[in-house]
Amino acid sequence: MANLTEDLFERARSKATEAEKAAPAAQRPEFEQLAREVEYHERAYRDGAPEITDAAFDDLFERYQELADALGVPVSERLDRTPGADHTEGFVQVEHRVPMLSLEKLSPNRKDSKGEPMPIAAQLTNWYDRRLAELEKSADEVPLLVEPKIDGISVSLLYDRGKLVRAVTRGDGERGDDITRQVEAARAVPTKLHGKLGGMIEVRGELYWPNAAWAAWNDRLEAAGERRIANPRNGCAGLMKRKDPQGLEAAGVVSFLYQVPWAEGVTLPATQSGVLTWLAERGGSVYLSEIAVTSDALAAYAHCEAYAARRGALPYDIDGMVIKIDPLVFHDRLAGTGHHPHWAIAYKFPPERKVTRLSGITVQVGKSGKLTPVAELEPVFVAGTTVSRASLHNFVELERKDIRIGDRVFVEKAGEIIPQVVAVQLEERPPGTVRYARPEVCPACGANVVAEEIFVYCPSPVCPAQIRERLRHFASRGAMDIDGLGASTVDQVVEHLGVRSPADLFALDHAALAGLERMGEKSADNLVAALERAKGRGLARVLVGLAIRQVGSTMAEDLAKHFGSADALLQFARRYVARDPEAVALVAPDKGSGAIEGMGSKSADIIFGELASASIVEVFAGLAKAGVKLDAELAVTQAVAGVAGKTFVLTGTLPSLGRNEASDRIKAAGGKVSGSVSKNTDFLVAGDEAGSKLDKAQKLGVAIIDEAELLRMLAG
């Protein structure tokens, strides 16, 4: 049955591809729309709030590249998708001594020279034969190691004499974010390697959230009335980008170590399998029982296939296997590309895919007013659960796939978690079906919708669906953290107590709350106390809670820090919307970056446009009247002359200061730390192994200092 489904899917895809090739010029609008989608989802991912799965994004980008090829778009004019780009504003970036490259992948969609599908086993054999030819070796001289590809986030760990001194994300492959504090707080990796190690060593691995720990965390979120985290991988990424790492230990994030790219003063075994054993002996999280050394490509493939059958019983998510050449001496001899090495290749498990009937399409309204289409399906059992609804992501994607009510569709679970419709079985399309027309009015309130980027929004501030979603979000832990105000309680206060805005929440009293269903005297007292505590959260948390588009936690903190109060922020928003030249220049000057890091003119138009709207101004007025603190919660600083008001960039390894400690001390003295060099940079603090930032600073004429000079400046 699985092979039949695969064949049907491939035929459906093949038909669509043939039709597209017939009229390449007609593909230009789709290409331009895809570019907007890719850019949007890249921003959402980097803001720590992805809206689609990694697999769905990969599909988008692959289609973008296909159309770019068909239309003859020069490589220099295409979107540049660097591997794993994940920089978050507020985190110091560190350059990798050895780039963290992505891996070449064995693809179920690859064709041979005759255009016929090429089996995975044949692809792996071809890859291995090419490596043997490059090395001029026989198979018995080049064993392969196979290890699980756990679905998490890549991390680089630097140990000095066995002690962990730095943890960095993969980033764009060349540089990543320093997450040392987060990793240490979570106790996700060994902070000390066993044994006497006299030198320095970099260890790479994967941070991941075991399924049991993720489920327990989600249970706590649900009990608090907050939205569950869609999958362990994105949840782990979000935890590791928390600026305040307090409480991370309770999450249960752990690690799987798999590589040592370099070492100085440390003698390592000569094989990859030996290195893994060496790491395990020193306390590293290495699952030696899950690793196999094989004699050839077909044996490696057989191990991958056998492992796939065990996936459901594993305590962690796994999306494939990695096949590596075991002798390390051959790694340096093999050529590679700027994107991936030639000594390893990834085997990805195909998701389970089923065919079912699409019986309808409903439209959900989110907290920001975004309208999202959802597929209503004849129930089908996929990857362990019965699926009756599936994500269609947005109307652009629905239209591109030409999904129609009545179609038989292919359904799979992206990341084994989120059901989604991936394609239509076109040859089974019933007669009389019509393209789905995107709504012109909101299904919840009837307001005329507006289009923005790739989405459709309901603009009405009194839309009942938005009111509920916004209040739920406002009360959530990441926003105002109102304990006891979960989804069911929000529904009740809206329906029975007439709550319509955040300010109305703070007018709720014991008598009103105690009359609600399943709300006793004690619960009412606790909720009143929680509402009182929430009044003091500060401006940044209020901004997060108001669900303003493109304002996540980082942007909210930056806005609060820059403007200091809601009054100043709203006054600036009015000036910006009125196109006051000074206000516009502050956000997006003609050259260089604006005063608010990470904000460009497009996001500024959206953010300040909403902040200047009558509905948001009214919300702030109500919150002020309710006694909610609308000033920024700013860190206590003691200005130091020569540091205060200056922008610093850190690069390389400093002799005694950790990157986070140096950043904290600069900020405490009134300075600002940026992750990138620009004409607005005042000082570059350069340590050992300073790379491209040093070159750029020299070209721009930025003052370059070392740690000793920084300490002298901080001392005043």
In terms of phi and psi (left: phi > 0; alpha: psi -120 to 50; beta: otherwise), the region of 709 is: alpha
Residue 671: which of 651, 636, 647 has the closest Cα?
A: 647
Kindly report, residue by residue over 214-236, the tens digit of the pLDDT.
Answer: 989 888 887 776 667 767 887 89
**Boundary-marking domain end, from 348, 364, 390:** 348
Instruction: Examine the pLDDT at 160 and tell me if it is beyond 90.
Output: yes
Residues 584 and 699 in one domain: no
**Boundary-marking domain end, from 410, 428, 446:** 428
* More confident: 589 or 207: 207
Structure tokens at 597: 């890091």
CA–CA dist 713, 364 (Å, integer) = 55
Q: How confident is the model at residue 414 (pLDDT cuts 50, 70, 90)?
A: low
Q: List all residues 6 or more positions away from 633 whose beta carbon is below 8 Å from its beta carbon.
A: 537, 538, 539, 540, 560
Residues 192 and 331 in one domain: yes
Residues 165 and 47 in one domain: no
Q: List all residues 6 or more positions away from 242 whose beta carbon is below 8 Å from its beta carbon.
A: 182, 248
* More confident: 327 or 25: 327
Q: How confident is the model at residue 323 (pLDDT cuts 50, 70, 90)?
A: very high
Kindly report, residue by residue over 351-410, the tens digit of the pLDDT.
Answer: 777 899 999 999 989 887 889 999 999 998 876 678 899 888 888 888 888 999 999 998
Q: Is residue 255 part of a domain?
A: yes
Instruction: Examine the pLDDT at 438 and tell me if it is beyond 80.
Output: yes
> For position 637, what pLDDT does the model report?
64
Q: How confident is the model at residue 656 (pLDDT cuts 50, 70, 90)?
A: confident
Residues 525 and 580 in one domain: no
Q: How confident is the model at residue 592 (pLDDT cuts 50, 70, 90)?
A: very low
Residues 51 and 144 in one domain: no
Q: How confident is the model at residue 195 (pLDDT cuts 50, 70, 90)?
A: confident
Q: Mean pLDDT lowest for which of 339-348, 415-424, 532-541? A: 415-424
CA distances from 127 to 146, 147, 326, 640 (A): 15, 17, 15, 59
CA distances from 229 to 49, 183, 347, 476, 477 (A): 11, 20, 27, 13, 13
Q: Is residue 87 part of a domain?
A: no
> For position 338, what pLDDT does the model report?
67
Kindly report, residue by residue over 254-298, the tens digit of the pLDDT.
Answer: 999 999 999 999 999 999 999 999 999 999 999 888 899 999 999
Instruction: Examine the pLDDT at 487 and tell me if it is beyond 80.
Output: yes
> For position 309, what pLDDT does the model report?
80
Q: Is residue 443 part of a domain?
A: no
Structural domains in the chain (count):
5
> For position 225, what pLDDT does the model report?
66
Geometric angle at alpha carbon 565, from 481 and 714, rounded to 5°: 95
Instruction: Examine the pLDDT at 598 and tell me if it is beyond 70.
Output: no
Residue 271: which of 281, 260, 282 has the closest Cα?
A: 260
**Boundary-marking domain end, from 594, 625, 656:** 625
* More confident: 21 or 77: 77
Catalytic residue among 114, 137, 149, 696: 149
CA dihedral of residues 638, 640, 643, 644 (deg, nearest 10): 50
Strand stretches in 96-197, DSSP E: 104-106, 144-150, 153-160, 163-169, 175-177
Q: For 638-693, give the DSSP string.
A: ---TTTTT-EEEEESB-SS--HHHHHHHHHHTT-EEESS--TT--EEEE-BT--HH
* More confident: 644 or 384: 644
Q: Is residue 373 part of a domain?
A: yes
> For position 84, what pLDDT does the model report?
41
CA–CA dist 279, 268 (Å, integer) = 10
Q: Is residue 437 part of a domain?
A: no
pTM above 0.85, yes or no: no
* More confident: 41 or 437: 437
Do residues 153 and 189 lie in contact, with contact meaning Cβ atoms separated by under 8 Å? no
Q: Is 506 exposed, middle or buried (0-12, 13-18, 19+ CB in 10 A)?
A: buried
End-to-end CA distance of the chain: 74
Instruction: Examine the pLDDT at 644 and tell me if it is beyond 70.
Output: yes
Residues 590 and 522 in one domain: no
Q: List all residues 6 or more positions away from 29 whose beta carbon is below 8 Å from its beta carbon.
A: none
| Maximal CA-CA distance, the chain | 83
Our separate counts of H helices and E strands in the chain read 25, 22
> For position 276, what pLDDT does the model report?
96
Kindly report, residue by residue over 13-29, the tens digit of the pLDDT.
Answer: 444 444 344 445 667 77
CA distances from 156 to 152, 211, 262, 482 (A): 13, 23, 11, 37
Residues 558 and 687 in one domain: no
CA–CA dist 518, 53 (Å, integer) = 36
CA–CA dist 333, 338 (Å, integer) = 16
> For position 386, what pLDDT does the model report?
82
Q: Is residue 114 part of a domain?
A: no
Q: Is residue 433 part of a domain?
A: no
C-alpha 27: how far from chain center: 29
Residues 337 and 360 in one domain: no
The verdict on whether 149 is a catalytic residue reads yes
Q: Is residue 219 part of a domain?
A: yes
CATH number reported for the structural domain that contains residue 68 in this entry: 2.40.50.140
Q: Any idea how long the chain is? A: 716
Return the bridge partners of 263, or none: 201
Residue type present at position 403: I
Instruction: Examine the pLDDT at 82 and tell me if it is beyond 50.
Output: no
Residue 356: which of 377, 385, 384 has the closest Cα?
A: 377
Phi, psi of 403 (to 5 degrees): -85, 125
Return the bridge partners of 13, or none: none
Report the mean per-residue pLDDT for the chain: 83
Residues 271 and 420 in one domain: no
Residues 247 and 315 in one domain: yes
Residues 359 and 342 in one domain: no
Q: How confident is the model at residue 503 (pLDDT cuts 50, 70, 90)?
A: very high
CATH number reported for the structural domain that contains residue 577 in this entry: 1.10.150.20
Q: Is 74 exposed, middle or buried (0-12, 13-18, 19+ CB in 10 A)?
A: exposed
Structure tokens at 635: 């860190």
Phi, psi of 648 (to 5 degrees): -115, 145
- Residues spanned by the domain of 488: 464-534
> For position 5, what pLDDT does the model report?
41
> For position 1, what pLDDT does the model report?
37
CATH number reported for the structural domain that contains residue 686 in this entry: 3.40.50.10190
What average pLDDT score do residues 461-481 get? Answer: 86
CA–CA dist 637, 509 (Å, integer) = 38
Residue 494: which of 522, 521, 475, 480 has the closest Cα?
A: 475
Residues 487 and 522 in one domain: yes
